[in-house]
Amino acid sequence: MNSSPIGIFDSGVGGISIWKEINLLLPNEHTLYLADSKFAPYGERTKEEIQHLCVKNTEFLLSRNCKLIVVACNTATTNAIDYLRATYKVPFIGIEPAIKPAALQSKSKKIGVLATKGTLASALFHNTTKSLREEIEIFEQEGIGLVPLIEQGAINSPKLKKLLTAYLQPMVMQGIDHLVLGCTHYPFLMPKIKEILKSDIKIIDSGEAVAKQTYAVLEKLSLLNTTITEAQHCFYTNLDRTILERFVPIEESDSVKIAFKNF
């Protein structure tokens, strides 16, 4: 099992931001990435629909012998990870908005959260923020329309910039000093977000923390790949492969093999 791949799935290309951090920390590990772009965004679906899609994705990765699965989607984590953990024996790593670190670091006691409807409406998000609201103000904003534009590769479009400005400017006016990105798609918008925010507003996402947790779980279960091999990364999508290829920040070399496939 040590040389088996790490499985990662998301509602589309967003989880590549998580894959990037995992590959950076664990360059010796093989990975299988599944972009379920045909059904993106998950944030607009019911809990039952999200669970069904997550089961489908999990079964696909398990059929390819993945030793651990990273649910690289905030909405999928908040709505389905408990069910997945109760159903399958494979270890799962989930993602949730990094609200607690932002709350602890905030000096203005005002933080913003940009996330999908599915994440903001989840019980996990509610429970996480409930106790914090006594100490800080949390300004929630649903990023309506952002994920579809990212999935189309339209990161530099005027429409996306207009949406971001409309979502972020009110939070800036409220005096936030931290912005939590509650969707794995949103780190790809970091340059655009920084253009809108004040320079002293810190942006927080979960990528590095997820990578560290993945390492910790693999180490605890003695599943780290300790053999010196050619790292193999396979990226699957059920839509246009060329868009997925644009987001993968690595090129094939003598020590790294990459494949893009449809499923």
Q: Is residue 21 part of a domain?
A: yes
CATH number reported for the structural domain that contains residue 124 in this entry: 3.40.50.1860
CB atoms within 10 A of CB 183: 31
Positions annotated as catalytic residues are 73, 183
Total domains, the chain: 2
Q: Is residue 1 part of a domain?
A: no
Q: Is residue 127 part of a domain?
A: yes
User: pTM of the prediction?
Assistant: 0.94
Count the helix, strand and coil residues of the chain and give each as a percent rounded to the nearest 5: 45, 20, 35
Residue with tokens 């989607």: 73
Question: pLDDT of 172-216, one tens digit each?
Answer: 999 999 999 999 999 999 999 999 998 899 999 999 999 999 999
Q: Is residue 89 domain-shared with residue 103, that is, in the same domain? A: no
Q: Is residue 62 domain-shared with residue 109, that is, in the same domain? A: no
List average pLDDT for each run of 10 residues in the chain, which is 263 residues long. Answer: 94 97 96 96 93 98 98 95 97 94 95 95 90 94 96 96 97 97 96 93 95 98 90 96 94 91 94
Domain stops at, among 178, 205, 232: 205
Q: Is residue 34 domain-shared with residue 109, that is, in the same domain? A: no
Domain stops at, among 205, 228, 244: 205
Specify the pLDDT at position 73: 96
Specify the pLDDT at position 198: 84
State which residues form the domain around 113: 99-205
CB 261 within 8 A of CB 64: no
Q: Is residue 166 domain-shared with residue 225, that is, in the same domain? A: no
Specify the pLDDT at position 254: 83
Helix/strand number for the chain, H first, E second: 11, 10
Q: Is residue 73 domain-shared with residue 18, that is, in the same domain? A: yes
Residue with tokens 């005096």: 175
Q: What are the distances in angstroms from CA 178 to CA 8, 69, 174, 200, 261? A: 28, 30, 11, 9, 38
